Amino acid sequence: MSEEKRIPEDQKESRVQEELDGWKLTDDKFITKRYRFGEFLTGVQFVNHIAEYAEDIQHHPFISIDYKMVTLKLTSWEAGGLTELDLSCAKKYDELFKSITE
């Protein structure tokens, strides 16, 4: 992951808004999104899928489970902020959400 370069400061906000659905730039170096589920166990199932994917690529999000709400928070520590990897993970997590809730 040390090869990952940060997205330039002047591009972060526009890239997040243009390329991601519902993700927000927070604290200038994280992207965050909340996913709502109809049932608690569906949210846990979603988290299990995320954990498997994150482990496969060795890039782990912050995950918070609050009953039927799952919050994900991404950044690249080694790069010191957002990278292309964070944006691609966000897109993948949205796909996983759709596959579980459709």
Q: Closest Cα to residue 20, out of 65, 86, 70?
A: 86
Which two tokens mark 6? 């940060």
Tens of pLDDT, residues 27-51 = 989 999 999 999 999 999 999 999 9
Residue 2 predicted with pLDDT over 80:
no
- Computed over every residue of the chain, the mean pLDDT equals 95
Q: H or E segment at 102?
A: none
15-79+90-101: what CATH class? Answer: alpha beta
Residue 4's pLDDT is: 83
> Could you give the CA distance from residue 82 to residue 19 in angstroms, rounded to a whole number?
14
Whether the Cβ atoms of residue 68 and residue 43 lie closer than 8 Å to each other: yes
Residue 1 predicted with pLDDT over 50:
no
Q: At 6, which amino acid appears?
A: R
DSSP structural state of residue 76: B
Domain coordinates of the chain in residue numbers?
Answer: 15-79+90-101
Tens of pLDDT, residues 70-86 = 999 999 999 999 999 99
